Amino acid sequence: MIFEIKNDEKKIFDLVSENARELGYPAYVVGGYVRDRLLGRQTKDLDIVCVGNGIRLAQAVATCLRPVPRVTVYQRFGTAMLRYRGIEIEFVGARKESYRHDSRKPAVEEGSLEDDQNRRDFTINALAVSLNAEDFGSIVDSFGGLKHLEEKIIKTPLEPGRTFSDDPLRMMRAVRFSTQLDFEIEPETLKAISLFRNRINIVSRERIITELNKIILSDQPSKGFKILYDTGLLKLIFPEMAGLQGVEVKNGIGHKDNFYHTLEVLENLSKNTDNLWLRWSAIMHDIAKPATKRFQPKIGWTFHGHEALGAAMVPRVFKKLCLPLDHKMKYVQKLVRLHLRPISLTKENITDSAIRRLLFDAGDDIDDLMLLCQADITSKNAQKVKRYLNNYELVKQRLIEVEEKDHIRNWQPPISGEIIMETFGISPSRQVGDIKNAIREAILDGVIDNDYQAAFDYMLKKGKEFGLEVEQGS
């Protein structure tokens, strides 16, 4: 089969081809680029394998480009990289060793194209396009990768146990490609993942989380999580999430399976956002349900405080998974903590003050919080779903009205600590904080208007209550 070369690829393919011929190296385009092009997906980096010295080939190609790009050489790994028109082009000599971009192991033994293809992870990633004059553009398909692309199958080129032992991260990659591409993992390959799952423990957390985040950012992330659960990988890499699975029944009363519920929420949310951290908040929103689960004979199953405990668990989970511990974590934590608030409002009278408090607590993340809440409405009972969605719309409307009126969303207290200290001639102290809090509460409760003068007058009143006197001349 011939690979249809597009106009924009032609120049670089020709250049590599000419230089490889001059050096006497057979050269091929390989890996993800070929796979994605054949699938009509957007391509990223271009990988070139040559039977020869990859660094020398990269340097030769670079001298023909204008402007001449810088060639980054990784001598130890026998690879070289250059950038051309925004794409990264990596050159490597064919090798017998397991093929990994991020391997810490140096490139060892040189090999033929076949050796190189043998050591790749999946048949669909082991396709090569020839850049050699005699068969330029023809596809070298040693393991049925083309058929597997058509049949939508993820399969290892060699016996799966061998491919996974070479690099156990490939088990995660199998799940990731299956999720991203909506392919099925071939039964023997899938069986081997279950069998070899414990080997994932030797892989660094950073590499694992990179794959997990790609699963989470896919169109149907729940597909990947189900495979991770069924193969036993999830329990090893993210036990807190695996622990959500299961239904306990007491006195004939069961509760939701929180794992599948979480996946439903993640799936619902993913239709409305590509924000990785918002998706993470869906994954984490009920994470403390197992720890807070109680059975109360008159009420049934309760999970009191799971939002607070869940928020407290976020830093621990993020640290263990090597996720960032910065504002992104704080954002997830906030959404987990607040995820019940909008819906719980609908059970009582929705007062302006409750809405103002929600706006104040959520701040700029209120829209994301509402998306999470909407996604969290999952029930088999259509009537219930309808009722919750109606309430949800009502809260949304009230949020708009109150925000228009009171501007709480990005609210900065009208009276600063400095003003309080100057007015009463006091130094930083607890009293300053108490007065500030009292002003904030009064505004949120609607006792005073949200403006400077009202807040100033209220400050004077509170100061007096605390026995403070106004400083002369202030």
Is 211 among the residues that bind ligand CTP (CB under 6 A)? no
Is 231 among the residues that bind ligand CTP (CB under 6 A)? no
Is 101 among the residues that bind ligand CTP (CB under 6 A)? yes
Element containing residue 30 per DSSP (H, E): strand 27-30
Cβ proximity to ligand CTP, 31 vs 414, nearer residue:
31
Is 78 among the residues that bind ligand CTP (CB under 6 A)? no
Q: Determine the interface stretch with ligand CTP among 16-24, 166-174, 303-311, 396-404 (rule: CB under 6 A).
A: 166-174
CB of 219 to ligand CTP, least distance (A): 14
Distances (CA, A) of 240 to 6, 210, 331: 47, 18, 19
CB of 48 to ligand CTP, least distance (A): 12
> 107: which 2 tokens?
């490139």
Q: Determine the interface stretch with ligand CTP among 97-105, 181-189, 235-243, 391-399 (rule: CB under 6 A).
A: 97-105
Is 100 among the residues that bind ligand CTP (CB under 6 A)? yes
Cα 404 to chain centroid distance, Å, stands at 33
Enumerate the H helices of 232-305 as residue ranges. Answer: 233-237, 239-242, 258-270, 276-284, 289-292
* Listed residue (221, 216, 160, 145) closest to 193, CA to CA: 160
Choice from 13, 77, 91, 99 touching ligand CTP (CB under 6 A): 99
Cβ proximity to ligand CTP, 122 vs 303, nearer residue:
122
CB of 214 to ligand CTP, least distance (A): 7
Task: Give the nearest residue (CB) to ligand CTP.
Answer: 32
Cβ proximity to ligand CTP, 145 vs 342, nearer residue:
145
Is 120 among the residues that bind ligand CTP (CB under 6 A)? yes
Using DSSP, how many helices (H) and how many strands (E) does the chain show?
24, 13
Choice from 170, 289, 337, 356 touching ligand CTP (CB under 6 A): 170
Enumerate the H helices of 71-203 as residue ranges. Answer: 113-118, 145-151, 160-166, 169-181, 187-196
Q: Determine the interface stretch with ligand CTP among 60-68, 99-107, 152-160, 390-398 (rule: CB under 6 A).
A: 99-107
Is 169 among the residues that bind ligand CTP (CB under 6 A)? yes
Choice from 9, 52, 53, 121 touching ligand CTP (CB under 6 A): 121
Choice from 6, 11, 41, 44 touching ligand CTP (CB under 6 A): 44
Q: CA 148, CA 154: separation in Å to the nearest integer?
A: 7
CB of 127 to ligand CTP, least distance (A): 9
| DSSP string across 80-110 | EEEEETTEEEEEEE-BSS---TT-SSPP--B
DSSP 69: P
Is 161 among the residues that bind ligand CTP (CB under 6 A)? no
Amino acid at 96: K
Assess contact for 359 and 403: CB atoms under 8 A.
yes
Q: Determine the interface stretch with ligand CTP among 80-88, 163-171, 183-191, 441-449 (rule: CB under 6 A).
A: 163-171
User: Which own/partner pairs from 307-310 qualify as long-range (CB within 8 Å, at least 24 positions apart)?
Assistant: 307/336, 307/337, 307/338, 307/339, 307/340, 308/337, 310/284, 310/285, 310/286, 310/336, 310/337
Cβ proximity to ligand CTP, 44 vs 327, nearer residue:
44
Q: Angle, to 10 degrees, between the axis of helix 54-64 and the axis of helix 7-23?
A: 120
Is 145 among the residues that bind ligand CTP (CB under 6 A)? no
Is 116 among the residues that bind ligand CTP (CB under 6 A)? no
Is 41 among the residues that bind ligand CTP (CB under 6 A)? no
Token pair 């992870």 is found at 121
Length of the chain: 474
The interface with ligand CTP within residues 439-468 (CB under 6 A) comprises none
The interface with ligand CTP within residues 15-34 (CB under 6 A) comprises 31-32
Q: CA 7, CA 182: separation in Å to the nearest integer?
A: 29
Distances (CA, A) of 157 to 75, 100, 115, 144: 28, 15, 11, 9
Contact footprint for ligand CTP (CB under 6 A): 31-32, 44, 47, 99-101, 120-121, 125, 167, 169-170, 173
